[in-house]
């Protein structure tokens, strides 16, 4: 199946967000080993930021039942961190897709440096309409990426098409408790989401309905907020420390609109969490 022509203009807000916040992520969050543009999971064995980021991969892989030699679609792969980790730890063959060309280029460079070009391929593509062959993957993996989709049902339909019978899906996903919330709460939630190029997030019931419509069974939606809480709090503290400097640097046009929103959105995210408006979910299911 030929891949559809990719239209970057349809993803301009997402591309601009990640391109213009690369410096923030590089300095404050990821490292060259894990390349993780996601939150970390802390537990009794994990106490350092870098280890927690890897622990997110480890827990997702365990829940997904990752096995040696699987073919994995890393949907919204960022800089390729999860794909490269899965290839190294499990020997999977991974295809990572993202609409952000700079991330594709960096992920390819990282694969080349690690001698993993044969195991990991990276493409600029839409995970709701990949154009990849039907029934060609054992696992669809999406770590904090589905949130960017305007049509989340379309993502699940595409995942169902791509997976072989019995294939699995695993997601780490911000999940709202209710729709609608009270007006002030709804505004707070969107004040975070829209600053991160996220149009909205779904409830657990909405995720379950999308999965069922796409032919998935054995659906589990688990609250992993306690594991992610330290990581979420750490980001909030970093953002609070830089908040006023961020306003000044934005006024001086030293920092871009996207960088400014990245900081203020990080503050709003934790405020919304403390008000009980959303939770951090791990979602797993199997194609019938």
Q: Residue 5 falls within a domain, yes or no?
A: no
Q: Residue 188 falls within a domain, yes or no?
A: yes
Cα radius of gyration rounded to whole Å, the chain: 18
Task: Locate all alpha helices (DSSP H) within the chain, ordered by sequence.
Answer: 12-20, 22-28, 49-64, 81-90, 101-113, 152-162, 183-193, 204-213, 225-251, 257-274
Provide the residue range defining the domain that includes 56: 11-287
Rounded Cα distance between 192 and 134, Å, is 36
Split into its structural domains, the chain has a count of 1
- Residue indicated by tokens 């939150």: 39
Q: Residue 3 falls within a domain, yes or no?
A: no
Rounded Cα distance between 140 and 196, Å, is 23
Backbone torsions φ then ψ of 131, nearest 5 degrees: 75, 5
In this structure, which long-range contacts are made by residues 242-248, counting pairs with CB atoms below 8 Å and at least 24 apart in sequence? 243/267
Q: Residue 21 falls within a domain, yes or no?
A: yes
- Report the CATH number that the domain containing residue 267 is assigned in CATH: 3.40.50.150
Task: Locate all alpha helices (DSSP H) within 65-151, ordered by sequence.
Answer: 81-90, 101-113
Q: Residue 1 falls within a domain, yes or no?
A: no
Q: Identify the sign of the CA torsion 103, 109, 113, 118.
A: positive
> How confident is the prediction along the chain (288 residues), in pLDDT tens digits per residue?
556 778 889 999 999 999 999 988 888 887 777 888 899 999 999 999 999 999 999 999 999 999 999 999 999 999 999 999 999 999 999 999 999 999 999 999 999 999 999 999 999 999 999 999 999 999 999 999 999 999 999 999 999 999 999 999 999 999 999 999 999 999 999 999 999 999 999 999 999 999 999 999 999 999 999 999 999 999 999 999 989 888 999 998 999 999 999 999 999 999 999 999 999 999 999 999
- For 230, other C-beta atoms within 10 Å of its C-beta total 18
Closest of 115, 107, 120 to residue 79, by C-alpha: 107
Rounded Cα distance between 55 and 288, Å, is 29
Q: Residue 2 falls within a domain, yes or no?
A: no
Q: Are 158 and 127 in contact (CB under 8 A)?
A: yes
Instruction: Give this prediction's pTM.
Output: 0.96
Q: Residue 187 falls within a domain, yes or no?
A: yes
């Amino acid at each position: 199946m030929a891949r559809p022509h990719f239209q970057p203009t349809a993803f301009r807000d997402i591309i601009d967000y990640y391109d213009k916040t690369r410096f923030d992520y590089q300095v404050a969050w990821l490292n060259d080993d894990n390349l993780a543009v996601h939150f970390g999971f802390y537990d009794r064995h994990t106490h350092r930021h870098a280890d927690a980021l890897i622990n997110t991969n480890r827990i997702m892989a365990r829940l997904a039942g990752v096995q040696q030699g699987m073919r994995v679609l890393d949907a919204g792969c960022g800089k390729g961190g999860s794909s490269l980790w899965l290839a190294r730890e499990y020997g999977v063959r991974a295809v990572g897709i993202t609409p952000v060309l700079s991330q594709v280029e960096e992920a390819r460079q990282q694969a080349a440096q690690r001698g993993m070009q044969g195991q990991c391929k990276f493409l600029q593509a839409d995970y709701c309409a990949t154009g990849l062959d039907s029934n060609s993957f054992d696992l669809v993996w999406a770590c904090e990426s589905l949130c960017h989709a305007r049509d989340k049902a379309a993502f699940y339909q595409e995942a169902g098409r791509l997976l072989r019978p019995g294939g699995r899906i695993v997601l780490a996903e911000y999940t709202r408790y209710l729709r609608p919330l009270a007006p002030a709460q709804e505004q707070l939630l969107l004040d975070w989401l829209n600053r991160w190029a996220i149009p909205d997030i779904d409830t657990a019931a909405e995720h379950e309905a999308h999965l069922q419509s796409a032919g998935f069974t054995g659906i589990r939606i688990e609250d992993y907020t306690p594991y992610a809480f330290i990581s979420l709090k750490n980001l909030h503290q970093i953002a609070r420390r830089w908040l006023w400097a961020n306003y000044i640097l934005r006024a001086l046009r030293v920092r871009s609109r996207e960088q400014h929103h990245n900081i203020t959105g990080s503050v709003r995210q934790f405020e919304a969490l403390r008000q009980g408006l959303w939770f951090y979910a791990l979602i797993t299911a199997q194609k019938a």
